[in-house]
Amino acid sequence: MSKSHTPAHTAEYYAEKFRLTVPLMAKHGISPTPRNYAVWFRYVSGETAALNECIDRLLEEKKAITDAMNNELFEEFLWECNIAQLEQARHDVQETLKETAATLINTGSDAARFGDALERFDASCSSAKSIQDVYGLLTEVLDETRKIKHSFNQVNEDFAVKSQEMDQLREELEQVKRQASRDALTGLTNRATFFELLNEKLNEEDTLTPHCLAMLDIDHFKRVNDTFGHLVGDKVIRFVAETLELSIKGQDTAARYGGEEFILLLPDTGLEGAAVLCNKIRERIAGSKLVRTGTRESLGQVTVSAGVAQFRHGEGHMELIQRADDALYRSKKNGRNRVTQA
């Protein structure tokens, strides 16, 4: 499938993409829901390279693409809802800042008027001819003092409210950020965010500290789906994700790479240490006893295979991933439920 971007979004453009999208969805048994159509229209248009790469991989592996998988693709690659939330939050921040600025401007006017009153009092005191004159000037200053006090009290109240509003907006932005960086099914870091973290780590100038990357794949996962259904398959994926999350620490990052495949970034970790960690994860998963909810029917032994590679100075992140993936392939080829070092 070509990944070229079509710049013109005319009626003819959409008609042509529709003509290509619908038969393609039918060919692969994709339900014609709005979300599914959005994913496959974007795939046909070639506007999101990462989405095309993920779908191409699924098609090459001849995997059945379910509604659940389509939903995950939508959540990971089509972020319109998150963008809308960010835009609303940005608007709210701007409005709060405008209101706060208006409060400061009003306070500035009151303060200037109070300063003028004090100057008049100072200038007029020396020329006052009676106590009555001084009393009149003092009355004016006291009146302005009461006004400025009220003004500053109002400012304090306004700032207390604005502070609460800004705290709430900050929490909303953090929530949107977390949603945009997480895999919908597992809650792990999603693929796009993982690539950002990986590039950031590999671009550091420190060339002496070792960094490792591990690819993990659930063995015979298709058999789980075919025997127990996709809902149980999703449960197995979540279980493996939880095991990864519990097994890492510090700067380590676990992400869902796609389908039943996961990826680990292990900074400040050498090849042997990474292999030891992956073997602990493998043993913990292999020793689990998963059962179906309700019937308590055993799902059989669930195992994972892994490939581990250590970053070589100068190589790109895709080269590192490919070496780990090649090691994973050797683990699969040599009997599964094992860890292989690149």
Report the CATH number at residue 110.
1.20.120
Domain membership of residue 40 (yes or no) is: yes
Does the pLDDT at position 3 exceed 50? no
Does the pLDDT at position 267 exceed 90? yes
Give the pairing type, strands 339-341 and 304-310. Answer: parallel
Domain membership of residue 3 (yes or no) is: no
Instruction: Name the catalytic one among 80, 260, 261, 319.
Output: 260
Query: What is the C-alpha separation between 191 and 66, in angstroms, rounded?
Result: 19
Secondary structure of residue 213 in the 3-state scheme:
strand
In this structure, the answer to whether residues 213 and 265 fall within a common structural domain is: yes
Of 78, 93, 112, the last residue of a domain is 78
Give the pairing type, strands 261-267 and 211-218. Answer: antiparallel
Query: What is the C-alpha separation between 59 and 64, in angstroms, rounded?
Result: 8
Of 59, 78, 97, the last residue of a domain is 78
Place 7 in a pLDDT band, splitting at 50, 70 and 90. very low
pLDDT, tens digit, 9 for 90 and up, residues 245-258: 999 999 999 999 98
Domain membership of residue 2 (yes or no) is: no
Domain membership of residue 316 (yes or no) is: yes
Does the pLDDT at position 101 exceed 70? no
In this structure, the answer to whether residues 43 and 170 fall within a common structural domain is: no
Tally of domains in the chain: 3
In this structure, the answer to whether residues 219 and 248 fall within a common structural domain is: yes
Does the pLDDT at position 4 exceed 50? no
Whether residue 297 lies in the annotated active site: no
* Bigger pLDDT: 92 vs 12: 12
Residue 230 sits in a domain of what CATH number?
Answer: 3.30.70.270
In this structure, the answer to whether residues 334 and 195 fall within a common structural domain is: yes
φ/ψ of residue 48, rounded to 5 = -125, 100
**Contact at 8 Å (CB) between 203 and 249?**
no
In this structure, the answer to whether residues 131 and 114 fall within a common structural domain is: yes
In this structure, the answer to whether residues 53 and 100 fall within a common structural domain is: no
Domain membership of residue 115 (yes or no) is: yes
Domain membership of residue 6 (yes or no) is: no
Closest CA to 176 of 91, 83, 96: 83
pLDDT, tens digit, 9 for 90 and up, residues 270-319: 999 999 999 999 999 999 999 888 788 899 999 999 999 999 988 888 89
- Tell me what percent of the residues of the chain surpass a pLDDT of 90: 33
In this structure, the answer to whether residues 200 and 297 fall within a common structural domain is: yes
* Bigger pLDDT: 99 vs 65: 65
Domain membership of residue 277 (yes or no) is: yes
In this structure, the answer to whether residues 258 and 154 fall within a common structural domain is: no
Domain membership of residue 214 (yes or no) is: yes
Q: Determine the structural domain holding residue 225 and report its residue range.
A: 191-341
Of 153, 181, 209, the last residue of a domain is 181
pLDDT, tens digit, 9 for 90 and up, residues 184-218: 889 999 988 899 899 888 888 777 789 999 999 99
Which residues touch 325 (CB under 8 Å, ≥6 apart)?
215, 307
Does the pLDDT at position 106 exceed 60? no
pLDDT, tens digit, 9 for 90 and up, residues 214-224: 999 999 999 99
In this structure, the answer to whether residues 67 and 104 fall within a common structural domain is: no
Place 120 in a pLDDT band, splitting at 50, 70 and 90. low
* Mean per-residue pLDDT, 107-112: 55
Place 124 in a pLDDT band, splitting at 50, 70 and 90. low
In this structure, the answer to whether residues 94 and 196 fall within a common structural domain is: no
In this structure, the answer to whether residues 49 and 131 fall within a common structural domain is: no
In this structure, the answer to whether residues 72 and 87 fall within a common structural domain is: no
